[in-house]
Structure 1
Amino acid sequence: MSTTEITITRVLDAPREVVWRVWTEPEYFARWFGAAPESVELDVRPGGAWRAAVATPAGELPMGGVFREVADHERLVWTVDLPDGAMVLTAAFADLGGKTEVVLRQPAPSQEQCAQAEEGAGRLLDGFAKVLATV
């Protein structure tokens, strides 16, 4: 099975330091990721683990993985554990002078699933932008 990558780019109306904080601090992460606050653990360093329980219509879905690369305020590479292996995601944060460009990359297992993965990542970034606007 070949892997197709999706890339979503957003320009956010906040300085990069604030965007980084909202992305990497548990209390903010819980809000934009849709996780129970008490379930969120983020050890944001290379080799550090992350965990969260996301509320779904079928109940809580435990999620987790490992941060592979952390370049403060610039780039995160992390895994999301899946039943058949780990999916690797990348987020790059570019300073645009008071605004921040976020480029999110994630694999989609097939071309058919690409649109679904892109829609899900877009909703996640929409939620992120809403939380960011409250900080």
Structure 2
Amino acid sequence: MADPLIVTRRFKAPRERVWAAWTRPEDFAAWFGTEAVEVPPATVSLDVRTGGAWSAEMHLPDGDTVHWFGEYTEVDPPHRLAFTMNDDPAAPPYPEPVVVEFREMDGGTEMRLTQPRGDFSDEEMEEMRASYQGFFDTMEKLLASRGADGGA
């Protein structure tokens, strides 16, 4: 089995707050896709329970729209979240989930995302890594701006 993509980030926010960034539609819409991509909150649906569906639309700067969707395969708040994801409705669901783990650490939370390699090329894996880093840069700003409790 090929090596998965692993991205680890540390945030100066409580684990519950980082978890909420993944599981509250208004937070998810704010960071998913970076500041350059619009994710209208009305397009985000997160049924955060094992077997629950999620979906979101990314409106790209070039005018294209990407329709993301998947299913939660594991929900263990605020420790672990696993979900499938796809942007091609004609394709079967991707069998291996993306896993996000949240670990308390001094002064905040360590978040580790693991995405299976699947049939992605080395170049595609590096593009995904860069995309996730951009997403999580935006998440870091969100967490700093809304504070520990998620309020404005």
Correspondence for 1:69: 74
| Structure 2 CA distance for aligned equivalents of residues 134 and 23 of structure 1 | 16
What stretches of structure 2 of length at least 5 have no aligned partner? 34-38, 147-152
Query: Could you say which structure has the higher strand fraction?
Result: 1
| Structure 1 CA distance for aligned equivalents of residues 79 and 132 of structure 2 | 19
* TM score, norm. by length of structure 1: 0.90
Correspondence for 1:45: 49
Does 2:69 match 1:58?
Answer: no
Deviates more, 1:91-100 or 1:45-54: 91-100
Which segments of structure 1 move beyond 6 Å, counting only runs of 4 or more? none
Equivalences, count = 134
What stretches of structure 1 of length at least 5 have no aligned partner? none
Task: Name the SS for the 1:14 alignment partner.
Answer: coil
- 1:99-122 deviations in Å (ceiling 9; x for gaps): 000001113312232211111111
CA contact (8 A) 1:94 1:102 kept: yes
- One-letter amino acid matched to 1:107: P
* TM score, norm. by length of structure 2: 0.81
Q: Kindly tell me: are residues 68 and 76 of structure 1, through their superposed partners in 2, closer, same or farther at Cα, counting changes over 3 Å?
A: same
| Structure 2 CA distance for aligned equivalents of residues 30 and 41 of structure 1 | 10
- 1:20-49 deviations in Å (ceiling 9; x for gaps): 112210111111114111001100000000
- Pairing partner for 2:134 from 118, 123, 128: 123
Correspondence for 1:104: 113
- 1:23-79 deviations in Å (ceiling 9; x for gaps): 210111111114111001100000000011111123221111000000110001001
CA contact (8 A) 2:12 2:108 kept: yes
CA contact (8 A) 2:48 2:75 kept: yes
Task: Name the SS for the 2:73 alignment partner.
Answer: strand
CA contact (8 A) 1:90 1:105 kept: yes
CA contact (8 A) 2:66 2:87 kept: no
CA contact (8 A) 2:67 2:87 kept: no
CA contact (8 A) 1:24 1:44 kept: yes
Shift of 1:18: 1.0
| Structure 2 CA distance for aligned equivalents of residues 62 and 117 of structure 1 | 17
Identity rate, percent: 35
Deviates more, 1:93-102 or 1:66-75: 93-102
